[in-house]
């Protein structure tokens, strides 16, 4: 009995059917002396652009000493064989 296995190369790309999301969370504490102080944890929520997140962080700076943030970028990925990718690029070119 003979078996034939066909291996293909695959790649990932950002899914063109969805938009990425950006966000930020304030990780500043109200007290610089107390290392056990709770972080603010105010969150921007999902936003459509990095500039929108920057604007939200700038607005949050109004709280004294809230200058430390954790930024995030989330997107969806698409997994394609390199053969499919080559065909998709020819259609869009």
Name the residue with higher pLDDT: 93 or 24. 24
Q: pLDDT-based confidence at 23, cuts 50/70/90?
A: very high
pLDDT of residue 12: 86
Write a three-state SS string for 50-87.
HHHHHHHHHHHCCCCCCCCEEEEEECCEEEEEHHHHHH
Per-residue model confidence (pLDDT) at position 89: 58
Q: What confidence tens digit (pLDDT) does each residue in 26-80 have?
A: 999 876 655 667 889 999 999 999 999 999 999 999 877 889 999 999 999 988 8
Q: Residue 87 pLDDT > 90, yes or no? A: no
């Amino acid at each position: 009995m003979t078996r034939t296995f066909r291996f293909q190369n695959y790649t990932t790309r950002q899914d063109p059917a969805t938009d990425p999301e950006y966000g930020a969370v304030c990780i500043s504490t109200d007290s610089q002396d107390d290392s056990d102080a709770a972080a603010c944890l105010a969150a921007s929520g999902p936003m459509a652009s990095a500039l929108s997140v920057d604007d939200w962080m700038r607005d949050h700076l109004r709280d004294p000493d809230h200058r430390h943030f954790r930024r995030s970028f989330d997107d969806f990925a698409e997994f394609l064989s390199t053969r499919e990718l080559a065909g998709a690029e020819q259609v869009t070119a």
